[in-house]
Amino acid sequence: DVKVTQSSRYLVKRTGEKVFLECVQDMDHENMFWYRQDPGLGLRLIYFSYDVKMKEKGDIPEGYSVSREKKERFSLILESASTNQTSMYLCASSKDGARSGNTIYFGEGSWLTVV
Amino acid sequence: KQEVTQIPAALSVPEGENLVLNCSFTDSAIYNLQWFRQDPGKGLTSLLLIQSSQREQTSGRLNASLDKSSGRSTLYIAASQPGDSATYLCAVRLSGSARQLTFGSGTQLTVLP
């Protein structure tokens, strides 16, 4: 089975802190994603990576950056955490070329509270 | 812009009933549609993926159908069980780019024992 592992399930950080959320997948997937999920707003894409060192902004990239130095690992960085970044963060991956086809797999989620 | 709607937002049924969850989308030029299950506080688990050329997919008690022309998909759950209680989301992939995935807001299903 595909496994997408998010290193931290629950975090509490202070406003202004730098926050790292780590995600690792074990199926050699090209694509990796970071979403946030908020009540009433659903899932929103923050960043997407289709290869090592390659990234694309999603719908809500402001206040976030990402790093993909190895194929299996995709990190989400909050440079200076703010209270409006309190949310559930979901990492996902899929094996995909330029065309459609493949299932997207999600991690268990990371609950971030910024105080 | 693709919009995905799931109605109703919440549904409560007695155990043993067959039920249908609905997903509608505004742009019929999709590549595929995927149904997920999400338990409280957890990530999303993929249930079924239907390619644009397919009409339905089945897995156990689950059957998902796709009608691109009308912009609709349904997830049929047979003989519902309390363990089926969860939020069910559909997601539509619009184009060849993997990032073009739009999620519905989900239907929260409660199956009463």
Residue of A96, A103, A109 with shortest CB distance to B46:
A103
Mean predicted lDDT score pLDDT of chain A: 92
Report the 10 Å Cβ neighbour count for B19: 16
**A112 — contact with chain B (CB < 8 Å)?**
no
Residue with token string 């739009």: B102
Flag whether pLDDT at A5 surpasses 90.
yes
Flag whether pLDDT at A100 surpasses 50.
no
- E strands, A1-115, are 4-6, 10-13, 19-25, 31-38, 42-51, 54-57, 64-70, 73-78, 87-94, 104-106, 110-114
What is the rounded distance in angstroms from the CA atom of residue B46 to the CA atom of residue B107? 15
Residue of B42, B101, B105 with shortest CB distance to A109:
B42
| pLDDT tens digit sequence for B15-33 | 999 999 999 999 888 888 9
Single out the residue of B102, B98, B105 nearest to residue B3, CA to CA.
Answer: B102
**A42 — contact with chain B (CB < 8 Å)?**
yes
Could B52 and A100 be called an inter-chain contact, meaning their C-beta atoms sit closer than 8 Å?
yes
Substitution target from A38, A94, A104 for chain B, most B beta carbons within 10 A? A104
| pLDDT tens digit sequence for B91-108 | 998 866 666 789 999 999
| pLDDT tens digit sequence for A18-65 | 999 999 999 889 999 999 999 888 899 999 999 999 999 999 999 999
The shortest C-alpha distance from A17 to chain B (Å) reads 24
Who's near A1: CB < 8 A, 6+ residues apart? none
**Three-state SS at A43:** strand
What is the rounded distance in angstroms from the CA atom of residue B1 to the CA atom of residue B5? 13
Could A48 and B31 be called an inter-chain contact, meaning their C-beta atoms sit closer than 8 Å?
no
Flag whether pLDDT at A101 surpasses 80.
no
What is the rounded distance in angstroms from the CA atom of residue A30 to the CA atom of residue A92? 11
Is the torsion defined by CA of A88, A104, B72, B4 positive or negative?
positive
Could B91 and A104 be called an inter-chain contact, meaning their C-beta atoms sit closer than 8 Å?
yes
- pLDDT: which is higher, A94 or B66: B66
Mean predicted lDDT score pLDDT of chain B: 93
Residue of A42, A103, A111 with shortest CB distance to B49:
A103
What is the rounded distance in angstroms from the CA atom of residue A6 to the CA atom of residue A110? 7
**A25 — contact with chain B (CB < 8 Å)?**
no
Flag whether pLDDT at A97 surpasses 70.
no
Q: Which of residues 43-102 of A touch B (CB under 8 A)?
A: 43, 45, 48, 50, 56, 58, 88, 90, 92, 94, 96, 98-102
Tell me the Cα Rg of chain A.
13
